[in-house]
Structure 1
Amino acid sequence: MAPTKTSESKIVPEFLHHTCLTVDEHDIEATKDIPRLYVIATHATTKAAKEFAHHALTSMGYDKADFAVYQEQTPDAEGWTHGDGVIVYAKAPASQEFFVSIDTTLNTENLCAQEDGSMILPHGADHLQYILQTKIDYRADRAVTTQVQGAYLKRNDAIEAAKWCLLVDGPDDAEALYDQFDAREDLSVPEDWPFGEDVVVHAVAYTGENFLVSLRTPPAAYLKLSKHGREKWHSAKQKANEVSK
Protein backbone atom coordinates (compact mmCIF):
# COMPACT_ATOMS: atom_id res chain seq x y z
CA MET A 1 0.00 0.00 0.00
CA ALA A 2 1.34 3.42 -0.95
CA PRO A 3 1.84 6.00 1.81
CA THR A 4 -0.96 8.51 2.39
CA LYS A 5 -0.04 11.99 1.21
CA THR A 6 -1.15 14.76 3.58
CA SER A 7 0.46 17.68 1.73
CA GLU A 8 3.03 18.34 -0.93
CA SER A 9 5.84 17.55 1.50
CA LYS A 10 4.30 15.20 4.09
CA ILE A 11 3.29 11.54 3.95
CA VAL A 12 1.86 9.03 6.41
CA PRO A 13 3.70 5.77 5.67
CA GLU A 14 2.07 2.41 6.31
CA PHE A 15 5.35 1.02 7.65
CA LEU A 16 8.29 2.36 9.66
CA HIS A 17 11.82 1.11 9.07
CA HIS A 18 14.05 1.03 12.12
CA THR A 19 17.85 0.99 12.02
CA CYS A 20 19.13 -1.19 14.84
CA LEU A 21 22.55 -1.79 16.34
CA THR A 22 23.55 -4.94 18.18
CA VAL A 23 26.94 -5.34 19.84
CA ASP A 24 28.09 -8.84 20.76
CA GLU A 25 30.67 -8.43 23.49
CA HIS A 26 31.52 -12.16 23.65
CA ASP A 27 31.61 -11.61 27.39
CA ILE A 28 29.38 -13.38 29.92
CA GLU A 29 29.00 -10.27 32.09
CA ALA A 30 28.05 -8.08 29.12
CA THR A 31 25.42 -10.50 27.79
CA LYS A 32 23.45 -10.34 31.04
CA ASP A 33 22.00 -7.09 29.80
CA ILE A 34 19.30 -8.41 27.43
CA PRO A 35 18.14 -7.31 24.92
CA ARG A 36 21.39 -6.13 23.36
CA LEU A 37 19.65 -4.73 20.29
CA TYR A 38 19.01 -0.97 20.28
CA VAL A 39 17.05 1.15 17.81
CA ILE A 40 19.09 4.19 16.78
CA ALA A 41 16.87 5.76 14.08
CA THR A 42 13.58 5.40 12.20
CA HIS A 43 12.71 6.28 8.62
CA ALA A 44 9.58 6.12 6.50
CA THR A 45 11.17 4.41 3.50
CA THR A 46 13.45 1.43 3.04
CA LYS A 47 15.77 3.54 0.90
CA ALA A 48 16.25 6.19 3.59
CA ALA A 49 16.74 3.54 6.28
CA LYS A 50 19.41 1.73 4.25
CA GLU A 51 21.23 4.96 3.45
CA PHE A 52 21.35 5.82 7.15
CA ALA A 53 22.37 2.27 8.12
CA HIS A 54 25.49 2.49 5.98
CA HIS A 55 26.61 5.52 8.04
CA ALA A 56 25.13 4.49 11.41
CA LEU A 57 28.45 3.65 13.07
CA THR A 58 29.92 6.94 11.87
CA SER A 59 27.00 8.78 13.50
CA MET A 60 27.98 7.10 16.79
CA GLY A 61 31.55 8.36 16.65
CA TYR A 62 33.28 5.37 15.04
CA ASP A 63 35.67 5.34 12.10
CA LYS A 64 36.16 2.38 9.79
CA ALA A 65 39.76 2.35 11.01
CA ASP A 66 38.49 1.46 14.51
CA PHE A 67 37.62 -2.03 13.29
CA ALA A 68 39.70 -5.01 12.27
CA VAL A 69 36.90 -6.02 9.88
CA TYR A 70 34.35 -3.67 8.31
CA GLN A 71 31.88 -4.96 5.69
CA GLU A 72 28.80 -3.45 4.04
CA GLN A 73 26.05 -5.29 2.22
CA THR A 74 25.73 -3.89 -1.30
CA PRO A 75 23.79 -5.09 -4.38
CA ASP A 76 26.99 -6.53 -5.86
CA ALA A 77 28.28 -8.02 -2.60
CA GLU A 78 28.94 -11.75 -2.91
CA GLY A 79 29.10 -14.34 -0.17
CA TRP A 80 27.33 -12.20 2.45
CA THR A 81 27.15 -14.38 5.57
CA HIS A 82 25.71 -12.03 8.19
CA GLY A 83 21.99 -12.33 7.40
CA ASP A 84 19.60 -10.64 4.97
CA GLY A 85 18.61 -7.89 7.39
CA VAL A 86 22.17 -6.91 8.32
CA ILE A 87 23.49 -3.90 6.38
CA VAL A 88 26.86 -3.41 8.11
CA TYR A 89 29.07 -5.87 9.95
CA ALA A 90 32.15 -4.77 11.87
CA LYS A 91 34.55 -6.54 14.21
CA ALA A 92 36.71 -4.66 16.70
CA PRO A 93 40.33 -5.64 17.42
CA ALA A 94 39.15 -6.99 20.81
CA SER A 95 36.68 -9.29 18.96
CA GLN A 96 33.44 -7.43 19.75
CA GLU A 97 31.07 -7.68 16.80
CA PHE A 98 28.76 -4.88 15.58
CA PHE A 99 25.67 -5.62 13.49
CA VAL A 100 23.68 -2.79 11.90
CA SER A 101 20.31 -4.08 10.71
CA ILE A 102 16.86 -2.90 9.69
CA ASP A 103 13.57 -4.04 11.21
CA THR A 104 10.10 -2.99 10.02
CA THR A 105 6.85 -2.39 11.92
CA LEU A 106 3.45 -0.95 11.15
CA ASN A 107 3.03 2.80 11.65
CA THR A 108 0.34 2.26 14.28
CA GLU A 109 0.32 5.90 15.42
CA ASN A 110 0.06 7.32 11.87
CA LEU A 111 3.25 9.33 12.30
CA CYS A 112 4.14 11.73 9.50
CA ALA A 113 7.30 11.89 7.43
CA GLN A 114 8.91 13.88 4.68
CA GLU A 115 8.90 12.37 1.22
CA ASP A 116 12.65 11.77 1.59
CA GLY A 117 11.86 9.33 4.41
CA SER A 118 12.81 11.48 7.40
CA MET A 119 10.32 11.48 10.26
CA ILE A 120 8.29 14.50 11.39
CA LEU A 121 7.54 14.07 15.10
CA PRO A 122 4.90 16.33 16.71
CA HIS A 123 5.04 18.40 19.90
CA GLY A 124 8.80 18.95 19.69
CA ALA A 125 9.64 15.27 20.24
CA ASP A 126 13.11 14.24 19.06
CA HIS A 127 12.81 10.46 19.41
CA LEU A 128 10.37 7.57 19.68
CA GLN A 129 9.84 4.89 22.33
CA TYR A 130 10.46 1.36 21.04
CA ILE A 131 9.07 -1.96 22.24
CA LEU A 132 11.52 -4.83 21.81
CA GLN A 133 10.62 -8.49 22.22
CA THR A 134 13.44 -10.90 22.98
CA LYS A 135 13.13 -14.68 22.83
CA ILE A 136 15.74 -16.82 24.58
CA ASP A 137 15.67 -20.51 23.69
CA TYR A 138 17.79 -22.45 26.15
CA ARG A 139 17.13 -25.66 24.22
CA ALA A 140 19.01 -24.21 21.22
CA ASP A 141 22.23 -23.31 23.02
CA ARG A 142 20.72 -20.13 24.50
CA ALA A 143 19.75 -18.76 21.07
CA VAL A 144 18.65 -15.13 21.42
CA THR A 145 16.51 -13.25 18.90
CA THR A 146 15.19 -9.71 19.31
CA GLN A 147 12.61 -7.92 17.16
CA VAL A 148 11.09 -4.45 17.22
CA GLN A 149 7.38 -4.78 18.00
CA GLY A 150 6.31 -1.14 17.81
CA ALA A 151 7.25 2.52 17.98
CA TYR A 152 5.33 5.06 20.06
CA LEU A 153 5.55 8.78 20.61
CA LYS A 154 4.59 8.76 24.30
CA ARG A 155 6.37 6.65 26.91
CA ASN A 156 3.17 5.75 28.78
CA ASP A 157 1.54 4.49 25.57
CA ALA A 158 4.59 2.34 24.87
CA ILE A 159 4.55 0.87 28.38
CA GLU A 160 0.86 0.02 28.09
CA ALA A 161 1.39 -1.63 24.70
CA ALA A 162 4.37 -3.57 26.05
CA LYS A 163 2.20 -5.16 28.76
CA TRP A 164 0.01 -6.72 26.07
CA CYS A 165 2.74 -7.65 23.63
CA LEU A 166 2.70 -11.34 24.60
CA LEU A 167 -1.06 -11.56 25.23
CA VAL A 168 -2.68 -12.02 21.85
CA ASP A 169 -6.21 -12.80 22.98
CA GLY A 170 -6.31 -11.06 26.35
CA PRO A 171 -5.34 -11.57 30.02
CA ASP A 172 -6.21 -15.28 29.96
CA ASP A 173 -3.23 -15.86 27.69
CA ALA A 174 -0.90 -15.29 30.65
CA GLU A 175 -2.00 -18.57 32.23
CA ALA A 176 -2.84 -20.43 29.03
CA LEU A 177 0.48 -19.84 27.25
CA TYR A 178 3.03 -19.22 30.02
CA ASP A 179 4.28 -21.17 33.00
CA GLN A 180 5.47 -17.85 34.48
CA PHE A 181 4.33 -14.34 33.63
CA ASP A 182 5.73 -11.23 35.34
CA ALA A 183 4.74 -7.67 34.46
CA ARG A 184 5.09 -4.28 36.11
CA GLU A 185 2.98 -1.17 35.87
CA ASP A 186 5.76 1.29 35.05
CA LEU A 187 9.53 1.49 34.75
CA SER A 188 10.22 2.13 38.42
CA VAL A 189 12.31 -0.90 39.37
CA PRO A 190 11.17 -2.81 42.47
CA GLU A 191 13.87 -4.41 44.58
CA ASP A 192 12.71 -7.90 43.64
CA TRP A 193 12.67 -7.27 39.86
CA PRO A 194 15.65 -9.24 38.45
CA PHE A 195 14.95 -8.92 34.72
CA GLY A 196 16.52 -5.54 33.86
CA GLU A 197 15.61 -1.89 34.31
CA ASP A 198 14.09 -1.55 30.81
CA VAL A 199 12.11 -4.81 30.91
CA VAL A 200 8.35 -4.45 31.33
CA VAL A 201 7.32 -8.10 30.91
CA HIS A 202 9.09 -11.41 31.52
CA ALA A 203 7.47 -14.72 30.63
CA VAL A 204 8.40 -18.39 30.42
CA ALA A 205 6.43 -20.52 27.98
CA TYR A 206 5.41 -24.07 28.83
CA THR A 207 7.76 -25.14 26.02
CA GLY A 208 10.69 -23.56 27.86
CA GLU A 209 11.35 -20.39 25.88
CA ASN A 210 11.94 -17.20 27.87
CA PHE A 211 10.53 -13.87 26.66
CA LEU A 212 11.47 -10.31 27.62
CA VAL A 213 9.51 -7.27 26.48
CA SER A 214 11.41 -4.05 27.02
CA LEU A 215 11.44 -0.36 26.21
CA ARG A 216 14.41 1.32 24.53
CA THR A 217 15.15 4.77 23.06
CA PRO A 218 17.82 6.15 20.69
CA PRO A 219 19.33 8.43 23.40
CA ALA A 220 19.96 5.34 25.54
CA ALA A 221 21.50 3.57 22.55
CA TYR A 222 23.88 6.43 21.80
CA LEU A 223 24.84 6.70 25.47
CA LYS A 224 25.58 2.99 25.80
CA LEU A 225 26.82 1.95 22.37
CA SER A 226 28.51 5.05 20.91
CA LYS A 227 32.30 4.98 20.76
CA HIS A 228 32.85 7.31 23.72
CA GLY A 229 30.00 5.76 25.69
CA ARG A 230 31.50 2.30 25.31
CA GLU A 231 34.94 3.61 26.29
CA LYS A 232 33.48 4.99 29.53
CA TRP A 233 31.61 1.72 30.16
CA HIS A 234 34.73 -0.42 29.68
CA SER A 235 36.79 1.96 31.83
CA ALA A 236 34.26 1.77 34.67
CA LYS A 237 34.13 -2.02 34.36
CA GLN A 238 37.92 -2.27 34.49
CA LYS A 239 38.07 -0.12 37.63
CA ALA A 240 35.37 -2.25 39.25
CA ASN A 241 37.36 -5.40 38.48
CA GLU A 242 40.52 -3.87 39.97
CA VAL A 243 38.69 -2.93 43.18
CA SER A 244 37.27 -6.43 43.54
CA LYS A 245 40.72 -8.09 43.31
Structure 2
Amino acid sequence: MASEGKSETAFVPELLYHTVLTVDERNATVGEQNPIPRVSVMGTHSEVEAAKKFAAQVIPQLGYDKSDFEVYEEKTPELAETWKYGDRVRVYAKAPAGQVFTVGIDTKANDEKLRALPDGTVLFPNGVDHLHYMLQTTVDYKANPAITTEIQGAFVRRADAIEATKTCLVSDEVRPEDYAQYDARDGVEVPDNWPYGEDVYVHAVANTGENYMVSLRTPPSAHQKHGKKT
Protein backbone atom coordinates (compact mmCIF):
# COMPACT_ATOMS: atom_id res chain seq x y z
CA MET A 1 0.00 0.00 0.00
CA ALA A 2 1.23 3.50 -0.78
CA SER A 3 0.27 7.15 -0.53
CA GLU A 4 -1.63 8.35 -3.55
CA GLY A 5 0.03 10.43 -6.21
CA LYS A 6 -0.98 11.25 -9.76
CA SER A 7 -1.24 8.17 -11.93
CA GLU A 8 -3.15 7.72 -15.15
CA THR A 9 -3.23 3.96 -14.61
CA ALA A 10 -4.95 4.08 -11.20
CA PHE A 11 -8.51 2.74 -10.99
CA VAL A 12 -11.16 1.96 -8.37
CA PRO A 13 -11.43 -1.82 -7.93
CA GLU A 14 -14.71 -3.42 -6.92
CA LEU A 15 -13.04 -5.77 -4.43
CA LEU A 16 -10.14 -5.63 -1.99
CA TYR A 17 -8.10 -8.58 -0.71
CA HIS A 18 -7.18 -8.22 2.95
CA THR A 19 -4.34 -10.31 4.40
CA VAL A 20 -5.34 -11.54 7.85
CA LEU A 21 -3.06 -12.83 10.61
CA THR A 22 -4.59 -15.03 13.33
CA VAL A 23 -2.60 -15.98 16.43
CA ASP A 24 -4.21 -18.80 18.44
CA GLU A 25 -2.67 -19.28 21.88
CA ARG A 26 -5.37 -21.45 23.44
CA ASN A 27 -3.18 -24.56 23.44
CA ALA A 28 0.09 -22.86 24.33
CA THR A 29 2.15 -24.54 27.04
CA VAL A 30 4.14 -21.40 27.85
CA GLY A 31 3.43 -17.67 27.60
CA GLU A 32 -0.06 -16.27 27.16
CA GLN A 33 -3.09 -18.52 26.80
CA ASN A 34 -5.66 -16.11 25.42
CA PRO A 35 -9.10 -17.77 25.23
CA ILE A 36 -9.93 -15.95 21.99
CA PRO A 37 -7.59 -16.05 18.95
CA ARG A 38 -6.18 -12.62 18.15
CA VAL A 39 -6.91 -11.43 14.62
CA SER A 40 -5.19 -8.55 12.78
CA VAL A 41 -5.27 -7.32 9.20
CA MET A 42 -1.73 -6.89 7.94
CA GLY A 43 -2.34 -5.30 4.55
CA THR A 44 -4.71 -4.80 1.63
CA HIS A 45 -4.31 -5.30 -2.10
CA SER A 46 -6.55 -4.96 -5.13
CA GLU A 47 -5.26 -8.10 -6.88
CA VAL A 48 -5.46 -11.55 -5.33
CA GLU A 49 -2.02 -12.61 -6.60
CA ALA A 50 -0.44 -9.59 -4.92
CA ALA A 51 -2.23 -10.52 -1.70
CA LYS A 52 -0.97 -14.11 -1.93
CA LYS A 53 2.62 -12.92 -2.39
CA PHE A 54 2.26 -10.55 0.56
CA ALA A 55 0.75 -13.30 2.75
CA ALA A 56 3.88 -15.39 2.34
CA GLN A 57 5.96 -12.50 3.70
CA VAL A 58 3.91 -11.69 6.82
CA ILE A 59 5.52 -14.05 9.35
CA PRO A 60 9.11 -13.28 8.22
CA GLN A 61 8.25 -9.56 8.47
CA LEU A 62 7.26 -10.16 12.10
CA GLY A 63 10.86 -11.22 12.71
CA TYR A 64 10.36 -14.98 12.70
CA ASP A 65 12.32 -17.58 10.78
CA LYS A 66 10.76 -20.79 9.50
CA SER A 67 13.08 -22.68 11.85
CA ASP A 68 11.31 -21.04 14.82
CA PHE A 69 8.30 -23.27 14.16
CA GLU A 70 7.63 -26.96 14.63
CA VAL A 71 5.40 -26.88 11.54
CA TYR A 72 5.59 -24.25 8.78
CA GLU A 73 3.57 -24.76 5.60
CA GLU A 74 2.77 -22.44 2.70
CA LYS A 75 -0.01 -23.12 0.24
CA THR A 76 1.37 -23.67 -3.25
CA PRO A 77 -0.24 -25.00 -6.45
CA GLU A 78 1.42 -28.35 -5.72
CA LEU A 79 -0.23 -28.52 -2.28
CA ALA A 80 -3.66 -27.23 -3.33
CA GLU A 81 -5.32 -30.65 -3.44
CA THR A 82 -3.93 -31.82 -0.07
CA TRP A 83 -4.12 -28.49 1.77
CA LYS A 84 -5.95 -29.08 5.08
CA TYR A 85 -6.03 -25.62 6.67
CA GLY A 86 -8.95 -24.05 4.79
CA ASP A 87 -9.41 -22.31 1.46
CA ARG A 88 -8.57 -18.83 2.75
CA VAL A 89 -5.40 -19.81 4.62
CA ARG A 90 -2.09 -19.29 2.80
CA VAL A 91 0.37 -19.97 5.66
CA TYR A 92 0.13 -22.25 8.69
CA ALA A 93 2.82 -22.18 11.38
CA LYS A 94 2.84 -23.96 14.74
CA ALA A 95 5.39 -23.02 17.39
CA PRO A 96 6.98 -25.67 19.62
CA ALA A 97 5.04 -24.26 22.61
CA GLY A 98 1.72 -24.73 20.80
CA GLN A 99 0.92 -21.24 19.50
CA VAL A 100 -0.55 -21.36 15.99
CA PHE A 101 -0.08 -18.58 13.42
CA THR A 102 -2.21 -18.58 10.29
CA VAL A 103 -2.16 -16.05 7.46
CA GLY A 104 -5.15 -15.91 5.15
CA ILE A 105 -6.94 -13.71 2.64
CA ASP A 106 -10.40 -12.22 3.11
CA THR A 107 -12.20 -10.65 0.15
CA LYS A 108 -14.41 -7.62 0.80
CA ALA A 109 -16.09 -4.84 -1.18
CA ASN A 110 -14.11 -1.62 -1.69
CA ASP A 111 -16.58 0.52 0.26
CA GLU A 112 -14.11 3.42 0.66
CA LYS A 113 -13.66 3.57 -3.13
CA LEU A 114 -9.89 3.40 -2.76
CA ARG A 115 -7.85 3.67 -5.92
CA ALA A 116 -5.27 1.08 -6.89
CA LEU A 117 -2.58 0.31 -9.44
CA PRO A 118 -2.62 -2.67 -11.82
CA ASP A 119 0.03 -4.46 -9.72
CA GLY A 120 -2.37 -4.62 -6.79
CA THR A 121 -0.97 -1.68 -4.80
CA VAL A 122 -3.72 0.23 -2.98
CA LEU A 123 -3.28 4.01 -2.99
CA PHE A 124 -3.99 6.19 0.02
CA PRO A 125 -4.46 9.97 0.34
CA ASN A 126 -1.22 11.83 0.99
CA GLY A 127 0.13 11.35 4.49
CA VAL A 128 -1.74 8.08 5.16
CA ASP A 129 0.20 4.81 5.21
CA HIS A 130 -2.30 2.28 6.57
CA LEU A 131 -5.99 1.56 7.03
CA HIS A 132 -8.03 1.16 10.19
CA TYR A 133 -9.89 -2.15 10.19
CA MET A 134 -13.12 -2.80 12.08
CA LEU A 135 -13.46 -6.42 13.18
CA GLN A 136 -16.44 -8.18 14.75
CA THR A 137 -15.74 -11.23 16.89
CA THR A 138 -18.59 -13.56 17.85
CA VAL A 139 -18.16 -16.09 20.65
CA ASP A 140 -20.84 -18.75 21.14
CA TYR A 141 -19.95 -20.43 24.43
CA LYS A 142 -22.64 -23.07 23.89
CA ALA A 143 -20.67 -24.46 20.95
CA ASN A 144 -17.45 -25.44 22.75
CA PRO A 145 -17.01 -22.41 22.08
CA ALA A 146 -17.39 -21.39 18.44
CA ILE A 147 -15.37 -18.25 17.71
CA THR A 148 -15.48 -16.28 14.46
CA THR A 149 -13.99 -12.93 13.47
CA GLU A 150 -15.07 -10.99 10.39
CA ILE A 151 -13.83 -7.76 8.80
CA GLN A 152 -16.74 -5.30 8.89
CA GLY A 153 -14.96 -2.30 7.39
CA ALA A 154 -11.66 -0.75 6.31
CA PHE A 155 -11.30 2.99 6.77
CA VAL A 156 -8.74 5.62 5.78
CA ARG A 157 -9.64 7.90 8.71
CA ARG A 158 -9.58 6.63 12.28
CA ALA A 159 -12.45 8.96 13.17
CA ASP A 160 -14.64 7.28 10.54
CA ALA A 161 -13.67 3.84 11.88
CA ILE A 162 -14.56 4.83 15.45
CA GLU A 163 -17.90 6.23 14.29
CA ALA A 164 -18.63 2.98 12.44
CA THR A 165 -18.18 0.92 15.61
CA LYS A 166 -21.22 2.69 17.07
CA THR A 167 -23.55 1.15 14.47
CA CYS A 168 -21.88 -2.23 13.92
CA LEU A 169 -24.19 -4.10 16.31
CA VAL A 170 -27.19 -1.75 16.34
CA SER A 171 -29.62 -0.45 13.73
CA ASP A 172 -33.18 0.82 13.41
CA GLU A 173 -34.33 -2.74 14.17
CA VAL A 174 -31.78 -3.68 16.87
CA ARG A 175 -31.19 -1.30 19.78
CA PRO A 176 -28.62 -1.47 22.60
CA GLU A 177 -31.38 -2.31 25.08
CA ASP A 178 -32.28 -5.38 22.99
CA TYR A 179 -29.08 -7.02 24.27
CA ALA A 180 -28.70 -8.61 27.70
CA GLN A 181 -25.61 -6.41 28.09
CA TYR A 182 -24.25 -3.64 25.88
CA ASP A 183 -21.10 -1.61 26.59
CA ALA A 184 -19.59 0.98 24.26
CA ARG A 185 -16.81 3.52 24.65
CA ASP A 186 -16.96 6.98 23.14
CA GLY A 187 -13.55 7.35 21.52
CA VAL A 188 -9.84 6.59 21.53
CA GLU A 189 -9.35 6.99 25.28
CA VAL A 190 -9.84 3.74 27.18
CA PRO A 191 -12.07 4.18 30.28
CA ASP A 192 -10.51 3.18 33.59
CA ASN A 193 -13.12 0.50 34.18
CA TRP A 194 -13.03 -0.93 30.63
CA PRO A 195 -12.22 -4.67 30.94
CA TYR A 196 -12.27 -5.66 27.26
CA GLY A 197 -8.90 -4.41 26.00
CA GLU A 198 -7.69 -1.28 24.25
CA ASP A 199 -8.70 -2.49 20.77
CA VAL A 200 -12.34 -3.20 21.68
CA TYR A 201 -14.85 -0.38 21.26
CA VAL A 202 -18.11 -2.30 21.75
CA HIS A 203 -18.95 -5.41 23.77
CA ALA A 204 -22.40 -6.96 23.82
CA VAL A 205 -24.10 -10.10 25.07
CA ALA A 206 -27.18 -11.38 23.29
CA ASN A 207 -30.15 -12.73 25.21
CA THR A 208 -29.28 -16.12 23.71
CA GLY A 209 -25.78 -15.97 25.23
CA GLU A 210 -23.55 -15.05 22.28
CA ASN A 211 -20.82 -12.51 23.03
CA TYR A 212 -19.86 -9.85 20.49
CA MET A 213 -16.79 -7.63 20.40
CA VAL A 214 -16.20 -4.85 17.88
CA SER A 215 -12.55 -3.83 17.67
CA LEU A 216 -10.28 -1.62 15.61
CA ARG A 217 -6.89 -2.90 14.45
CA THR A 218 -4.05 -1.52 12.33
CA PRO A 219 -0.98 -3.17 10.76
CA PRO A 220 1.50 -1.15 12.89
CA SER A 221 -0.18 -2.29 16.12
CA ALA A 222 -0.17 -5.90 14.87
CA HIS A 223 3.60 -5.75 14.27
CA GLN A 224 4.08 -4.33 17.76
CA LYS A 225 1.97 -7.02 19.46
CA HIS A 226 2.87 -10.07 17.41
CA GLY A 227 6.44 -9.36 16.31
CA LYS A 228 9.15 -11.67 17.62
CA LYS A 229 10.51 -10.48 20.93
CA THR A 230 14.31 -10.28 21.03
Q: Distance in 2 between matches of 1:37 and 1:192?
A: 24
Q: Percent identity?
A: 54
Amino acid aligned to 1:10: A
- What TM-score comes out, normalization by structure 2 length? 0.89
**What count of residue pairs does the alignment treat as equivalent?**
221
Provide, for residues 196-229 of structure 1, a one-character-per-residue CA deviation record: whole Å limited to 9, x for no partner: 11111111111111000000100000111122xx
Structure 1 moving runs of 4+ over 6 Å: none
Q: Distance in 2 between matches of 1:155 and 1:35?
A: 24
- 1:128 maps to 2:131: yes
Residue 195 of structure 1: aligned partner: 196
Residue 153 of structure 1: which of 146, 152, 156 is its match? 156
Q: Which structure has the higher relative contact order (CA within 8 Å, separation 6+)?
A: 2
Equivalent residues in 2 for 1:39-58 (5 A)? 39-58=41-60
TM-superposed deviation, 1:79: 2.6
TM-superposed deviation, 1:172: 4.5
8 Å Cα contact 2:16/2:109 also seen in 1: yes
TM-superposed deviation, 1:174: 2.4
Structure 1: which 5+ residue stretches go unaligned? 1-5, 233-245
Amino acid aligned to 1:180: Q
Provide, for residues 104-123 of structure 1, a one-character-per-residue CA deviation record: whole Å limited to 9, x for no partner: 22211111111111111112
Residue 82 of structure 1: which of 81, 85, 98 is its match? 85
Structure 2: which 5+ residue stretches go unaligned? 1-5
Residue 24 of structure 1: aligned partner: 24
Residue 207 of structure 2: aligned partner: 206
- What TM-score comes out, normalization by structure 1 length? 0.84
Residue 13 of structure 1: aligned partner: 13
8 Å Cα contact 2:202/2:215 also seen in 1: yes
Which is worse superposed, 78-87 or 213-222?
78-87
Backbone CA RMSD of aligned residues: 1.9
Q: Distance in 1 between matches of 2:210 and 2:86?
A: 23
SS of equivalent to 1:215: strand
Q: Distance in 2 between matches of 1:221 and 1:59?
A: 11
- 1:109 maps to 2:109: no
Q: Distance in 2 between matches of 1:171 and 1:198?
A: 26
Residue 37 of structure 1: aligned partner: 39
8 Å Cα contact 1:106/1:150 also seen in 2: no
- 1:220 maps to 2:200: no
Q: Distance in 2 between matches of 1:103 and 1:30?
A: 26
